[in-house]
Amino acid sequence: MALELTAAERDVLSGGGGVAAAMAMRILVEAASMMGASKLVEITSAHIDGCLYHGDGGVEFAEALVAGEGRVAVPTTLNVGALDLLHPDRVRGGEHHTRMARRQMDAYRRLGCEPTWTCAPYQAGHRPGVGEQVAWGESNAVAFANSVLGARTERYGDFLDACCALTARAPLAGLHTDAARRATVVVDATGVPASLKDRDVFYPVLGTWLGLELGRDVCVIAGIPPDVDEDSLKALGAAAASTGAVALFHVAGVTPEAPTVEAALGYTVPERTVVATAGRLLGALARLSTAPEGAAEIDAVAVGSPHFSIEEFSRLLGLLDGRRVRVPFFACTGRHVVAELEASGALATLEGAGVEIVADTCVVVAPILPSAGGVLMTCSGKFAHYGPANTGHEVVFGSLEDCVESAVAGRVRRDPEIWSW
């Protein structure tokens, strides 16, 4: 299928918008052709994942765009970097790593991106509307934009997201289109006890199982409470995008394109129906812990992947209830949340309890944890999935309440009764 460009797009491709925009359009056109797109679609925002330092090539790419006088053409937010710019001593990288990571972050700022440095831009006020075409990177942000906000984005990684931002275009393919957004699988969660669905720990586990079960398929989930909060949906999507490639899930009666199961299916017969049984969910739960069975000692606790919201910090404060943690406790969040915590006085209370705030990055993508080869406890399905390979720590997974009680005790404390079914 030949890719048709508008006169304005051909002008950018031929250099009418500058050297950097022309390079970005060349890359975008090649990508669109490989994706089978017949044309490009105009986007209203972008979220760039390519600002995280993985090697010098990423720095050189961003700086080449700057040298070519590139500027983003739509409002563009930035995902986490490899440094905590608010707390420079948090990340223990070498001199070369630190210098190059800062150069990469600086380059994207010079392109006109907003220095949000968060994997949850939707918590920082960047919330495209239903049906709005955007180009977002970062797997959890993609899942949230598509599933919770009802905006339309494909999975944009390094460095196609930047090319979309500079050209204000994306390939009209995949989840940008009506057909690809129709659910083909029904996930029946009606049999899960209501008491479990009311707990924060349920949603990362459901997401972990969904990713393994679905891969890239689009599903509609039946049986989730209509008052489910955004942090639970955030956790669900992040886990599903980590263990699989889920970029869009519908929740019947909750998410924008799924007022009913039938509507999410496009009033067609599903290809299959899968049931969220106790056995399947307990299998996913077991997979999230890699520490030896019966492990009692922990070396650190980390929460906030995706980044902790102000509501989650409020809950954390309530669970701490004036107590102090006995092991390093890292809470990863965006700088916009840090500002709110500071303004309310909650930041001083958290730090007084021994909680270390990490901004602009997180413990899984930057060397922050105190040592390698220990045991990390978390309530994040995403941390649990990536933690062992990225940090060298084995993982114990539990609820936020479990994490707090364990951090205060200095030993693993978990309540298995909530999974009795």
Q: What is the pLDDT of residues 110-154, one digit of tens each?
A: 999 999 999 999 999 999 999 999 999 999 999 999 999 999 999
pTM of the model: 0.96
How far, in Å, CA of 103 to CA of 343, rounded?
30
Record the tokens describing residue 135, joined without a space.
């180009």
In the prediction, which pLDDT does 325 show? 98
- The class (CATH top level) of 300-411 is alpha beta
In the prediction, which pLDDT does 1 show? 61
CB-based contact 31:191 (threshold 8 Å): no
Fold of 7-179: Aconitase; domain 3 (3.30.499)
Q: Which of 206, 247, 208 is nearest to 223 (CA)?
A: 206
Burial label for 417, CB within 10 Å (0-12, 13-18, 19+), is: exposed
CA 158 to chain centre: 15
Exposure class string for 2-21: b at 16+ Cβ within 10 A, else e: ebebeeebeebbeeebbebb
Record the tokens describing residue 194, joined without a space.
């209501």
Record the tokens describing residue 253, joined without a space.
């009666």
Domain 7-179 shares a fold with domain 300-411: yes
Q: How far apart are the first and last CA of the chain?
A: 52
- Residue boundaries of the structural domains of the chain: 7-179, 182-287, 300-411
Within 8 A by CB and 6+ apart from 200, the residues are 231, 232, 235, 379, 399, 400
In the prediction, which pLDDT does 110 show? 98
What are the helix and strand counts (H, E) for the chain?
17, 14
Q: Give every residue of the chain whose pLDDT is below 70, as ranges.
A: 1
